[in-house]
């Protein structure tokens, strides 16, 4: 069992992260100030220390320095906001093993912890093992609309190949999940999938992040570091928001992709890599090429096959499929048992434009599950901007039942489909889970 010290002054976030880690069978001491952390560091031995760089009483760097002074080589991970990236760079120079930009997904912190536990330069206590990660985050929900069908067809076509893929779409449309689906359906499915947020890599550490470095190659390089290219060897490297890469790194990236060789910072030896590259962007890369902001040769290297991801408003038919999936996930994570959505909530969902796409829908559903006290999510649990959509006139007729009794229409649809609930739900223009809830409501047993 890994013993972890968590230092974070945001009490709610700290509690949530501690709960998550405890569920992963970690032993966690959580404190909110650097003073408390320094006291624990002086008394205890931790496998990993996770600390925010900015704390109310002192900077997180003082905790890092205290760990280093003990000489126990504990893996230290610093958490930082995008505005404090420079502080994270200083932390790396001071000997931190890694940094994470907030907000982050749970799998990101899990990877950082496992990297710390597996580092050859960090001594291990007996019985400490790599933390098992959940595969539930990798689930790709296909949807059933015409736009989703076209997208899924493209995924199925390109997945078995080794072609580089450029995924284009608005923020929050699930580009990383699509990349994972392509990887999992390929011959590389059992090999690593390494995701990199190109917008979160500071210029000073970019080469080290992508290609690794050797111990002593620069101030703060206290251990050897495996870069993203080597970590993805044999598998897939996913470059999210590729348009954020600076021009200098674009040159290095192109060379690595062309030669399939990398050279860690400070090393004279080249490492041959066998990877597939999938990139994603929410901007018009071709327009960036014309402006001179993105290299044309790199653009063509990445764009052997392109996939356009439709926004959520372009596939409203799938809305409740996604909503019910997020409902199930939130029920499991929050240990609740909400059955579904009220009619008013569904109406508000369908009238809202969802500018944040699937990411926004997931957050809204999770928040509503947390707030909900009844069997169904009522509209009172929705954010004001979503609830306000209920008062707007409908752009399309999404009415479930009009001018007829609900129960009568359900029975009629079931008769026409010979009792097939999936077909009946489709005929009624509702999702299957809503139909099941209605059957229960009216006591209809088949």
| pLDDT beyond 50 at 397 | no
Q: Which residues contact 303 (CB under 8 A, 6 or more apart)?
A: 164, 166, 285
Band (pLDDT 50/70/90 cuts) for residue 83 is very low
The answer on 403 and 383 residing in a single domain is no
- Which CATH number goes with the domain that contains 405? 1.10.10.60
Is residue 132 included in any domain, yes or no?
no
| pLDDT beyond 70 at 331 | yes
Parallel/antiparallel/unpaired status of strands 271-272 and 261-262: antiparallel
pLDDT of 213? 86
Is residue 124 included in any domain, yes or no?
no
| pLDDT beyond 70 at 287 | yes
The answer on 101 and 190 residing in a single domain is no
The answer on 103 and 22 residing in a single domain is yes
User: Which of residues 344, 373, 390 is at a domain's end?
Assistant: 390
User: Which of residues 66, 84, 118 is at a domain's end?
Assistant: 118
As for how many domains the chain has, the answer is 4
CA quadruple 197, 202, 203, 208: dihedral, nearest 10: -80
**Which residues are registered as beta bridge partners of 165?**
278, 305
Q: What is the rounded CA–CA span in Å between residue 408 and residue 396? A: 24
> Which residue range(s) make up the domain with 14?
3-118
Is residue 114 included in any domain, yes or no?
yes
The answer on 305 and 172 residing in a single domain is yes
The answer on 146 and 105 residing in a single domain is no
Give me the residue label for tokens 């009172």: 380
Helix (H, G, I), strand (E, B) or coil at 28: strand
Helix (H, G, I), strand (E, B) or coil at 308: strand
Is residue 127 included in any domain, yes or no?
no
- Which CATH number goes with the domain that contains 77? 3.40.50.2300
> pLDDT tens, 253-286?
999 999 999 998 888 889 999 999 999 999 989 9
Band (pLDDT 50/70/90 cuts) for residue 222 is low
Q: Six-digit token pair at 440? A: 């229960």
Phi and psi of 100, rounded to 5°? -130, 130
pLDDT of 124? 62
The answer on 415 and 287 residing in a single domain is no
Helix (H, G, I), strand (E, B) or coil at 80: strand
> pLDDT tens, 98-140?
888 776 766 678 878 888 887 766 666 655 666 655 444 446 7
Band (pLDDT 50/70/90 cuts) for residue 145 is confident
Average pLDDT over residues 171-197: 93
Phi and psi of 70, rounded to 5°? -70, -20
Q: Which residues contact 19 (CB under 8 A, 6 or more apart)?
A: none
pLDDT of 23? 79
Is residue 384 included in any domain, yes or no?
yes
- Which CATH number goes with the domain that contains 200? 3.40.50.300
Q: Six-digit token pair at 121? A: 């330069």
The answer on 273 and 149 residing in a single domain is yes
The answer on 279 and 165 residing in a single domain is yes
User: Which of these, 281, 205, 207, lies nearest to 242 by C-alpha position?
Assistant: 281
The answer on 283 and 146 residing in a single domain is yes
Q: Would you say 48 and 64 are in contact if contact means Cβ atoms under 8 Å apart? A: no
| pLDDT beyond 60 at 396 | no
pLDDT of 409? 79
**Most confident segment among 19-23, 209-213, 393-397:** 209-213
pTM here is 0.65
The DSSP-derived string for 155-186 is HHHHTTS---EEEE--TTS-HHHHHHHHHHTS
For 364-373, the CB contacts below 8 A with 24+ separation are 365/323, 365/326, 365/327, 365/330, 366/326, 366/329, 366/330, 366/333, 366/334, 369/327, 369/330, 369/331, 369/334, 369/336, 369/338, 370/330, 370/334, 370/336, 372/336, 372/338
| pLDDT beyond 50 at 36 | yes
Is residue 128 included in any domain, yes or no?
no
| pLDDT beyond 80 at 199 | no
pLDDT of 126? 56
pLDDT of 130? 64
The answer on 169 and 70 residing in a single domain is no
User: Which of residues 310, 328, 343 is at a domain's end?
Assistant: 310
Is residue 131 included in any domain, yes or no?
no
The answer on 145 and 283 residing in a single domain is yes
Q: Would you say 215 and 221 are in contact if contact means Cβ atoms under 8 Å apart? A: yes
> pLDDT tens, 288-312?
999 999 999 999 999 999 999 999 9
What secondary structure letter does DSSP report for 265? B
- Which CATH number goes with the domain that contains 355? 1.10.8.60
Is residue 125 included in any domain, yes or no?
no
Least confident of 152-161, 320-329, 407-416: 407-416
pLDDT of 51? 93
pLDDT of 191? 93
The answer on 294 and 189 residing in a single domain is yes
Q: What is the rounded CA–CA span in Å between residue 380 and residue 372? A: 9
């Amino acid at each position: 069992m890994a013993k972890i010290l968590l230092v974070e002054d945001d009490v709610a976030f700290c509690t949530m992260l501690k709960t998550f880690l405890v569920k992963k069978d970690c032993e966690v001491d959580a404190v909110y100030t650097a003073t408390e952390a320094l006291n624990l560091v002086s008394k205890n031995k931790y496998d990993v220390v996770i600390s925010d760089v900015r704390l109310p009483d002192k900077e997180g760097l003082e905790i890092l320095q205290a760990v280093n002074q003990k000489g126990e080589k504990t893996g230290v991970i610093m958490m930082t906001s995008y505005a404090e990236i420079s502080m994270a760079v200083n932390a790396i120079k001071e000997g931190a093993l890694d940094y994470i930009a907030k907000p982050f997904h749970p799998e990101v912190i899990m990877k950082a912890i496992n990297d710390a536990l597996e580092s050859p330069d960090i001594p291990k206590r007996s019985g400490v093992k790599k933390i098992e990660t959940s595969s539930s985050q990798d689930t790709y929900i296909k949807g059933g609309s015409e736009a989703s069908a076209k997208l899924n067809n493209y995924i199925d076509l390109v997945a078995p190949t080794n072609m580089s893929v450029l995924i284009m779409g608005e923020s929050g449309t699930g580009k990383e999940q699509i990349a994972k689906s392509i990887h999992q359906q390929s011959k590389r499915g059992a090999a690593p999938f390494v995701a990199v947020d190109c917008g979160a890599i500071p210029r000073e550490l970019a080469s080290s992040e992508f290609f690794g470095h050797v111990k002593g190659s620069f101030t703060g390089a206290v251990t050897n570091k495996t870069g993203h290219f080597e970590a993805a060897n044999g598998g897939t490297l996913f470059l999210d928001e590729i348009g954020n890469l600076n021009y200098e790194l674009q040159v290095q990236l192109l060379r690595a992709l062309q030669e399939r060789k990398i050279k860690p910072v400070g090393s004279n030896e080249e490492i041959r890599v066998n990877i597939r590259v999938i990139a994603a962007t929410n901007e018009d890369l071709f327009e960036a090429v014309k402006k001179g902001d993105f290299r044309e040769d790199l653009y063509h290297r990445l764009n052997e096959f392109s996939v356009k991801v439709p926004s959520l408003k372009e596939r409203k038919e799938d809305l409740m499929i996604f909503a019910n999936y997020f409902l199930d996930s939130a029920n499991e994570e929050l240990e609740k048992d909400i059955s579904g959505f009220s009619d008013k909530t569904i109406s508000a969902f369908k009238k809202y434009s969802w500018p944040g796409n699937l990411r926004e829908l997931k957050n809204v559903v999770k928040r509503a599950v947390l707030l909900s006290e009844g069997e169904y999510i009522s509209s009172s649990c929705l954010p004001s901007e979503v609830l306000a959509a209920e008062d707007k006139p409908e752009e399309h007729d999404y009415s479930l039942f009009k001018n007829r009794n609900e129960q009568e229409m359900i029975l009629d649809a079931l008769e026409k489909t010979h009792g097939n609930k999936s077909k009946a739900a489709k005929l009624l223009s509702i999702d299957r889970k809503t139909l099941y809830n209605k059957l229960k409501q009216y006591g209809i047993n088949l």
